Structure 1
Amino acid sequence: PRSRGGVTSKVPVWVASVLGGLDGWRLATEHVGGEAVTGFGSVSHYPEGRLPRMMLIGGSSLYGGTVGQVLTSSDGVSWVDEVDDGAMVDLVSREDVSVASDGFQVVMAGGARHISATASVLMRDVLTTFYHCHDTGCSNAGREWTYGSASAQWSQRAGCHLVSMGDTMLLVGGWVLESLGVKRHLKDVYVTQQRCHKGHVGPACRPCSAGTFSDVEFGLTEASCQPCPIGHQAPLEGASKCTECQPGSYAPGTGVSTCLECAPGTIQQARGSDECVLCDAGTHQVMEGQTECNECPARYFCVRGSAQPVGCPLGSWADFGMGKRLESCQCLEGFFSTNGTAPCMACGKGTYQPDQGASSCVDCEAGKTTSSDTSIYATECKPIETPSPSSTPQMTSFDFHIGIISPLESVNASMSQYLQAIAATAQVGVPQITVTSVLQRTSSNGDFTDAGFSILLEMRDLQEISVNFQITALNAELSALSLPRAYALTRDQLPLPTPPP
């Protein structure tokens, strides 16, 4: 009932049972509350897991003008106006609005809004609302409305009908105002995707770009895709979730489409990481995308974050996994330095050093000297021979032995490389070379077998040529071939003694 002249206008509600054939109507309430209106939109909303609700939206007042209210009830008796925010009141203030529900959201389209006592403006927007929770609490459908589209593809209109059909929503007909306020009824039908699947956002349900995701089935709202969090990726479009970076990879920021592989010298063992970890000193990693660092090999050192091992300088040595910096390389026998670590210097002629890590060399006894630098044993000190002034330099020859340590399985290959190196560094012609013995021994850690072999080298010499010079040149050649160093032996040291590690 609606009237003027002091009589209160009312909006009554009558209910009937569907099971009863809809012929047993009864009055549920004489007035739903709020301002009495007509031309409101109405819909039954059945949100999953919650009580079904009747919803009355907008309308025009008996006294002129459109009303911005959203009344909801679960029984038809008690009604609540959900809208209490001024901006929301203005948003839903319209009459002859079309409303539909898909069970998840309520969609409102079009309608007419009074701008004066004699003039109205027709709408072409689409608004949605749904039950949701946030930090400050939960809101029923109808309390907060968002634009699905501020300007839809169809023309401005009121009195249209929205129909929800699965994932599709239809907008049918309506009316527009012609000149002199005459209504012209429309017969067109528009269809749209009413609910975007996960990984897509409205109103066109476009897929989220790589590096972003959407994990909700939204409606026509202008929802934005969320960037993947740190340590996650979404390599393809339309992702509903982001995946963790695998071990050996990382994502340093948000919105990453593909996780980055750990660079050489770094590793990562965990999933979902935002950075990689440097290899510890004494270890290294040559490859990308790894989860473990490798021990630094013998004769090398690896500083923190090493991708490649660095060879100890000539005359020094580091045990397997113990080379953490240059100073980890200890001076070998026949070499020394102030602190016994690299860089090392060769013990000069007339001196020797049988120990590793020495800070000085030992002088030969008076009247004795060595035939070369880098001497190791005291037995290498020989009496000094004084040449006769009248003697004429003669062509001489002597036996020169070289001691070598090489992995057993590569003795033949290593021996061939050594012989090539000797030939390349021979001072006079190509020396006559005879392999006198190949000796085997097992290393102390038992991981592999070393083989030692000595080479008998006959050199022709007009005058004494420094054996040290020959050894130094040979070791330079061996270093270029990444082979172990050689050292001089005398006949009384055969068979080959246990060499340095």
Structure 2
Amino acid sequence: MPCCSAGQYSGPASGVCSICAAGTYTSSSSSAVCTICPAGKYLADKARDALLHDSISDCQMCGTGTKLEDDGDTAGLHDSADDCVQCGPGYYSNEEETLMTSCQECPDGQVSPAGASACSSCPAGYDCSEGETAACDAGTYSNGNTQASHPDSPCRPCEKGYSCPGGTDHSPCRQGSHQPDTSQSTCLSCPTGNTKRTLAKTHASTARLGTSALKGQ
């Protein structure tokens, strides 16, 4: 077996030194095979005489927001950045927290688009429990903070005495209207002759007949 330069190998039958293929390297001058880059890394170009791939440091890390779960043994040589797979919505990857072999799921209450390197807080008026932003439905609202009483979704049901058309809007019913139920998008007009008093502090509303006070006197 000839003594080859690092970055080259000599097959057992050929007796000739050959340059390692893209996606592989060798640091040994007597190697019969080239080593495949590990998971999370690739080697895009074939080595040249002036630039032999003779170290694992020649393998390139996948970019942020992507992953490469397997090494070349299971899926063929990784010889292109196209082999790196983009992280899906609700996931992220960066060199500081991962080895680019997997994407990390965003923490509860945070969200990310596809190909993200970090997660961000869920904006007010949206539900991000599935990793993507979805506007709060009518009858619910969100101020941007995950509620302890509703950990699965930051969009919480509208309280009695309030109207919630969706998003961040959470308004007490105006004088002359009421809402006796929860999870409602609008307030109801009080019947003719009735008045209504809103108690915002307790999220309750009451309606009384205008003449009842006279009868009780």
TM-score by length of 1: 0.28
1:293 aligns to what SS in structure 2?
strand
Gaps of 5+ in 1: 1-38, 43-97, 99-106, 113-121, 129-145, 155-160, 170-192, 334-354, 363-501
- Alignment counterpart, residue 215 of structure 1, candidates 94, 99, 104: 94
Read off the aligned partner of 1:240 and give its amino acid letter.
S
- Alignment counterpart, residue 162 of structure 1, candidates 53, 62, 72: 53
1:356 aligns to what SS in structure 2?
helix
Q: Provide the rounded CA distance (Å) in 1 between the counterparts of 2:155 and 2:214.
A: 36
Q: Which residue of 2 aligns with 1:356?
A: 213
Q: Which residue of 2 aligns with 1:246?
A: 123
Gaps of 5+ in 2: 7-18, 47-51, 69-77, 148-152
Q: Does 1:230 align with 2:96?
A: no
Read off the aligned partner of 1:212 and give its amino acid letter.
Y
Q: Which residue of 2 aligns with 1:276?
A: 155
- Alignment counterpart, residue 175 of structure 2, candidates 257, 274, 298: 298
Q: Does 1:329 align with 2:207?
A: yes
If you compute each CA radius of gyration, which structure gives the higher value, 1 or 2? 1
Superposition deviation, residue 309 in structure 1: 0.6
Contact 2:142-2:156 at 8 Å conserved across structures: yes
Q: Which residue of 2 aligns with 1:497?
A: none
1:319 aligns to what SS in structure 2?
strand
Is the alpha carbon distance of 1:317 and 1:241 closer, same or farther for their aligned partners in structure 2, counting shifts above 3 Å? same
Superposition deviation, residue 110 in structure 1: 6.0
- Alignment counterpart, residue 308 of structure 1, candidates 182, 186, 193: 186
User: Aligned-pair RMSD on alpha carbons?
Assistant: 4.5
1:318 aligns to what SS in structure 2?
strand
Contact 1:298-1:317 at 8 Å conserved across structures: yes
Contact 2:61-2:100 at 8 Å conserved across structures: no
Superposition deviation, residue 214 in structure 1: 0.5
Higher share of residues assigned strand: 1
Superposition deviation, residue 251 in structure 1: 1.4
Q: Provide the rounded CA distance (Å) in 1 between the counterparts of 2:54 and 2:40.
A: 18
Q: Provide the rounded CA distance (Å) in 1 between the counterparts of 2:121 and 2:40.
A: 33
Q: Provide the rounded CA distance (Å) in 1 between the counterparts of 2:40 and 2:122.
A: 36
Deviation string 1:201-251 (CA, Å, 9 cap, x unpaired) is: 3352333233321021799x771222322212212x321101111122231
Contact 2:65-2:94 at 8 Å conserved across structures: yes
Q: Does 1:199 align with 2:65?
A: yes
Contact 2:93-2:118 at 8 Å conserved across structures: yes
Alignment length, in residue pairs? 172
Deviation string 1:429-487 (CA, Å, 9 cap, x unpaired) is: xxxxxxxxxxxxxxxxxxxxxxxxxxxxxxxxxxxxxxxxxxxxxxxxxxxxxxxxxxx
Is the alpha carbon distance of 1:209 and 1:126 closer, same or farther for their aligned partners in structure 2, counting shifts above 3 Å? same
Contact 1:301-1:310 at 8 Å conserved across structures: yes
